[in-house]
Homo-oligomer: A and B are copies of this chain.
Amino acid sequence: MQEQRVNQKSKSGLEGVFAAALTPMDEKLDPDHGAFVSHCRRLLDSGCHGLSIFGTTGEGNSLSFGEKVSAMEALVEGDIPGEKLLPGTGSCSLTDAVRLSRAALEIGAAGVLVLPPFYYKNADDDGLFRFFAELIDRVDDERLKIYLYHIPWMAGVGFSLPLVGRLIEAYPEIVVGTKDSSGDWERTERTCREFPGFTVFAGSERFLLDTLRAGGAGCISAMVNVNAPLARRVYEAYEAGEDAEAEALQEDLNEMRTATEGFPAIPALKALMCETTKEEGWNHIRPPLRSLEEDQQQKLLSRLDLSKIS
């Protein structure tokens, strides 16, 4: 197991605790660059090894190409190191996925997290393979490191393990990892086992310790927006070989996640950010998502022990 982890480190270099960073928005529902820089800085300072931006939690699909490029540039101008960033660059449109991936390379991103072209529910593995082959050929940049973003319950399209294997075999230096947000631990564990050297992030911090133990790289998670220090302590305890401590901390992480279940994830996290930062702007969210109603917000807060976060 330890050996696999060494392989991973040598392969893509990414590992640890990543927040699927929220995107703060202003009153007009445009990305609030200042608040975004502050949030990313806070996340890195409070324990995140890196940040995935423009994923599902970051409302990436609610933003236009130009909005994503401007926000990435604002982060780098705000001294968020590009190599800490893993931007979501997937699109149903091949040409958009290409130019967004290029833009991510321009800001020095560590890699790109790529959804399958999710409108096409009837796409088969051959068609999806061809999409990624075209993407790689067209980006045509040896710095490109792709992480396959598997979230079938949201995207409606996912990556079968045979497809993952085909992509790794065809592009071993480029298709280097995945975020598995299936919520299906058996699949995540199998991905770690079947593809040694492939960088596997669980899509939930609930599987952080299990993923590390299975030879995976860590987690990229929405909840890490609010509990990065705790997630980092799980990681550090695991690294130090403090098994009991790691398990106890993982229990705390799980408890917090359980408390938020039943609430829509992104509005709930934005509500928690409102509470912890006292910045009202955090409740801005693009439709079709909606911020929590006042009573839902109170119910959520009453369930959580925010003192455990840090």
Interface status of A128 (Cβ within 8 A of chain B):
yes
Which stretch (A117-125, A181-189, A196-204) binds chain B? A117-125
Interface status of A289 (Cβ within 8 A of chain B):
yes
Is there an interface contact between A93 and B63, defined as CB atoms closer than 8 Å? yes
CB-CB under 8 A from A133, the residues of chain B are 287
When chains A and B are docked, how far (Å) is the Cα of A180 from the Cα of B127?
27
Interface status of A274 (Cβ within 8 A of chain B):
no
Chain B residue at minimum C-beta to C-beta distance from A115? B119
From A61, A154, A264, residue with most partner B Cβ within 10 Å: A61
CB-CB under 8 A from A153, the residues of chain B are 121
CB-CB under 8 A from A123, the residues of chain B are 288-289
Is there an interface contact between A96 and B130, defined as CB atoms closer than 8 Å? no
Is there an interface contact between A288 and B130, defined as CB atoms closer than 8 Å? yes
Is there an interface contact between B264 and A117, defined as CB atoms closer than 8 Å? no
Interface status of A279 (Cβ within 8 A of chain B):
no
When chains A and B are docked, how far (Å) is the Cα of A64 from the Cα of B65?
9
Interface status of A95 (Cβ within 8 A of chain B):
yes
When chains A and B are docked, how far (Å) is the Cα of A286 from the Cα of B93?
9
Interface status of A218 (Cβ within 8 A of chain B):
no
Is there an interface contact between A119 and B287, defined as CB atoms closer than 8 Å? no
CB-CB under 8 A from A61, the residues of chain B are 92-93, 117, 119-120
| A56 nearest CB across to chain B (Å) | 8
Is there an interface contact between B119 and A118, defined as CB atoms closer than 8 Å? yes
Is there an interface contact between A94 and B289, defined as CB atoms closer than 8 Å? no
The proximity string for A residues 245-288 relative to B, scoring 1 for CB distances below 8 Å and 0 otherwise, is 00000000000000000001000000000000000000000111
CB-CB under 8 A from A64, the residues of chain B are 65, 93, 95-96, 99
Chain B residue at minimum C-beta to C-beta distance from A119? B61
Q: Which of B62, B67, B121, B290 contacts A92 (CB 8 A)?
A: B62
Interface status of A34 (Cβ within 8 A of chain B):
no
CB-CB under 8 A from A131, the residues of chain B are 287-288
* Closest 4 A/B residue pairs (Cβ): A123-B288, A127-B288, A131-B287, A130-B287
Q: A62-B93, A118-B118 are in contact. List 18 more A-B contacts (CB 8 A).
A: A29-B94, A61-B120, A62-B92, A64-B93, A64-B96, A67-B95, A93-B286, A117-B288, A121-B153, A121-B154, A121-B156, A123-B288, A123-B289, A124-B290, A127-B289, A128-B287, A130-B287, A130-B290
